Amino acid sequence: MIERSEPEFGLPERTMLEAWLDYERATLAVKCDGLDDDQLRMRAVPPSSMSLLGLVRHMADVEANWFRRVLTGEDRLGIYWSDDNPDGDFDDVDTANVAHDFATWRAECNNARAVATRMSIDDCGTRKGERVSLRWVFVHMIEEYARHNGHADLIRECVDGVTGE
């Protein structure tokens, strides 16, 4: 069972941002829970190439982008995409190794937590020549997961009829 609970109302800012990000990460895991590999690969809303597995792969890349590239300055290529295949995270799921892709996503989430632990909320990285604070990254990541979790909710309902938060 995946543990997921909304953050308490009176938490300090950083603790609240970290808690909401972990809540949204757990929400994506809940949306994928109990499905087999074929169901996770299912593109349930044609003509979109989006699938639950594609969302997991996409979020692994998003975690790596913000916490590795932007905040720590790692010179790193995309995990599932390239300049020649910009939608590889979504498009290339038919033969993807589901267990490996979920492990990659979890590893990127763990790396993000480790990076954030070493930083103050006002510490900055650089994206396209602009300084970006950890605070901004937290808020953006919460927004990114929340938006994609809405997609995941609709995809999951199409796959097997399961609905819910």
CA distance 104 to 97: 11
Domain extent listing, the chain: 13-160
The residue with tokens 């972990």 is: 22
To which CATH superfamily is domain 13-160 assigned? dinb family like domain (1.20.120.450)
Say how many CA atoms lie within 13 Å of 125 toward its Cβ.
Answer: 22
**Residue-level pLDDT, tens digit, the chain, 165 residues:** 798 999 999 999 999 999 999 999 999 999 999 999 999 999 988 899 999 999 999 999 999 999 999 999 999 889 999 999 999 999 999 999 999 999 999 999 999 999 999 999 999 999 999 999 999 999 999 999 999 999 999 999 999 999 877
Amino acid at 31: K
Among left, alpha and beta (phi > 0; psi -120 to 50; other), residue 161 is left
CA distance 164 to 31: 9
